[in-house]
Structure 1
Amino acid sequence: MASVGGNFYSVPDATRRRVVEVHTLAEEVRIFEDGALIATHPILEGRHQRHVELGHRNIHVHKRRQRRGNDEVVLHGSGDRVALRPLAFYDAVARMMAKEQRP
């Protein structure tokens, strides 16, 4: 998110840089990365508001989440799939990684 005038405007998840160039015009905010336009947003009135463009955040498309019979979930319509795993799996992975990093 880019903070402009007390409000937050989304940038695509694929944005590589933490510092972007922002142009504030009369009716819109334009956000550039390396000179390329990566996002445009309408100006938000007030403060502490957020504007998220569709496609900038995968977390905002969870309403289209579909469950498949083979323990996979389609996160959004692009066909990306992940296996469903219990949290205990990730706990075990973290414990193994912690042991490997000790001298």
Structure 2
Amino acid sequence: MSLAEKITPLCAWGTSRAVRIPKDVCESLGIDVGRRLFMKLGHDERGSFVIIRPEPEAHRVVANVPYLSMGELFAGYSDSKQPTECDWGEDVGDEVVE
């Protein structure tokens, strides 16, 4: 059985149920005790299943995406599709901005 194929028992933990994740699986995922996990339930032709993934860390960069200005982002679009400012009418009250 490969690292991607593990069988583990479902255990009781108080009134909840728990699955133990083997240490080698945690090491291969780069997760440790205390790491939050995202869980999603699903169904397909073989029955119900659970997907468990490490929750992305707040400081972790998910993708290296370069900054693009609005001009660069909409370059190549025709003038009729260029973004413009919306006219919300005259300023009123204390929210007037000079």
TM-score by length of 1: 0.25
For CA contacts below 8 A with separation 6 or more, give which structure has more relative contact order: 1
TM-score by length of 2: 0.26
Structure number with the higher strand fraction is: 1
